[in-house]
Structure 1
Amino acid sequence: MQVIITDAWMARSRAFHLNGFKLILAILLASLVLMLVSAGLYHWVFMKGAREGWPVIGSLVRLVSKDEIAQRDRYVKENIEVLAKRLGEMQAKMLQLESLGERVSGLAGINPAEITVAPGRGGALIAGRDLSIEELDATLASLDGAATKNADVMTVIESRLFEQKIKKMMVPTQQPVLDANLGSIFGWRIDPITGRSALHTGLDFPAGVGTPIYAAAGGMVVTQEYHPQYGNMLEVDHGNDLITRYAHASKVHVNKGDLIKRGQRIADVGNTGRSTGAHLHFEVLVQGVPQDPQKFLNAGKGLGTERSASSKASVLQR
């Protein structure tokens, strides 16, 4: 293809020879330029019409904007409904947690009225009506406050229950010699050596020499010595003026000042001191006054039964 361009002013002519490839390239380039010009012109006209409010263009812009706003509002509304439903479920769970906290506080010996958490907040969110962002924000703030207060309450309850557990561990309720038959009990009896009536201030547990003696409760060893009457003797202070005494031991495994825990092996059964046979003489003293150790051990048996029943129940629930 040959294109001839004639210049009237210069009285000259110029010829261009275009083959097939150059012709296609020229058409594509012209099309691209035309498209760019058209797009720019359309954008300029559309923007100018939108700003100045031309009748047709202004209506089209408002229609498009209205559709976008409607879609955005619908999306926001759907998300608010989902969030409101989740908040309602959270409120229901929070009420259950508060009810549980009140029951547990009673077990811990705490007055629930003193730790009431955010009373009068109402129930779950009401479904079936539109909720505003402000309402959701207020509900979230209420839940946050309730969660903080519940955490404080649970901390107090945990502390109280832990304190009670420690106190129970410090009361001598565990039998010091396992699988041993009870010999002489607490009270008045005929002394086996003098033959006269005398007060027996503890319990005797006959057992072979070397049989382990276990701490009836946790505490501190305050006495570890050889006594003319009690032989190798241990005294453990459990606090609150409560002391246990272990006498006639053949061997002692702890020293004065040691901290021991419940069920720890502290000595072995023996026949030392004023004794007519191998046994453990076990005493419980409150403010220095001998008490019947059997009352404490019976209380320990009751606790053991409760623990066994609760453990069986938990196994059945599983």
Structure 2
Amino acid sequence: MQGVQWPLDYNIIRGRKLSNTYGRFKERFAGCHWGWDFYAGVGTPCYAIADAISIQTYQSSSFGLVLVLEFDHEGRRLFAAYCHLDKAIVQGAGPRNQIKAGDFVAYTGSSGNASNLKGEEEHLHFELRTSVRPLPGEKGRLSPIEIFRKCPLNSPIITPHRTSEMPKRQGMVA
């Protein structure tokens, strides 16, 4: 397996706010946030952070359309959850549908509790999990810093993904 890759071409925490990273924050309404919010306008391509073992999609009232990639990392079985999506491009993994790190997998959206956000508030909510659908709260979730080793809070991490399989979006300029 290749190393872990970033989920977007341009990775920066939304609004450069610490409260949009992982942890407990008194300024957040719920007091906690169990993922990273990457700034991403609606229709931004998302990429697999690792070689996927399996893929699942589901709808959630808070997360909207969610794509979950199951992968192994340093001897652990983990799950990468891409939330508030507009469209998942991949379905299931297997011998005929291999998902490799860096493959195009989804478009960001404004689903779930992100449906009223506009402009610089639009984002990809990204979580690392130890199960596909953990219960509310911290149990079953990991800080993304554990695999990425750094957080793009103040400076973006730019990682252009080169894929020839990205379909053109209807109504979007290529």
TM-score (norm 1): 0.37
Report if the CA contact (8 A) 1:221-1:234 is conserved. no
Does residue 202 in structure 1 map to residue 38 in structure 2?
no
Q: Rg larger in 1 or in 2?
A: 1
Counterpart in the other structure of 2:129: 285
Which is richer in helix? 1
CA distance in 2 between counterparts of 1:253 and 1:270 reads 13
Task: Mark the runs of 5 or more structure 2 residues left unpaired by the alignment.
Answer: 15-19, 135-139, 151-174
Report if the CA contact (8 A) 1:203-1:294 is conserved. no
Task: Mark the runs of 5 or more structure 1 residues left unpaired by the alignment.
Answer: 1-165, 300-318
Report if the CA contact (8 A) 1:209-1:269 is conserved. yes
> What is the CA RMSD across the aligned residues, in angstroms?
2.3
Does residue 217 in structure 1 map to residue 39 in structure 2?
no
Counterpart in the other structure of 1:307: none
4+ long deviations beyond 4 Å: none
Matches for 1:129-208 after TM superposition, within 5 Å: 166=1, 169=2, 173-183=4-14, 184-190=20-26, 195-197=29-31, 199-208=32-41
CA distance in 2 between counterparts of 1:268 and 1:174 reads 17
Cα offset, 1:256, TM superposition: 2.8
Equivalent position SS for 1:274: helix
The match for 2:148 among 291, 297, 301 is 297
Counterpart in the other structure of 2:102: 263
Counterpart in the other structure of 1:248: 84
Percent identity (aligned) = 28
Cα offset, 1:259, TM superposition: 3.1
- Structure 1 residue identity aligned to 2:91: N
Which is richer in strand? 2
- Structure 2 residue identity aligned to 1:284: L
Deviations for 1:64-122, whole angstroms, at most 9, x for unmatched residues?
A: xxxxxxxxxxxxxxxxxxxxxxxxxxxxxxxxxxxxxxxxxxxxxxxxxxxxxxxxxxx
- Structure 1 residue identity aligned to 2:107: D
TM-score (norm 2): 0.65
More deviation, 207-216/183-192: 183-192
For CA contacts below 8 A with separation 6 or more, give which structure has more relative contact order: 2
Matches for 1:51-62 after TM superposition, within 5 Å: none
Counterpart in the other structure of 1:155: none
Cα offset, 1:251, TM superposition: 1.5
**How many residue pairs are counted as aligned between the two chains?**
128
Counterpart in the other structure of 1:226: 59
The match for 2:111 among 253, 267, 272 is 272
Counterpart in the other structure of 1:235: 68
- Structure 1 residue identity aligned to 2:21: I
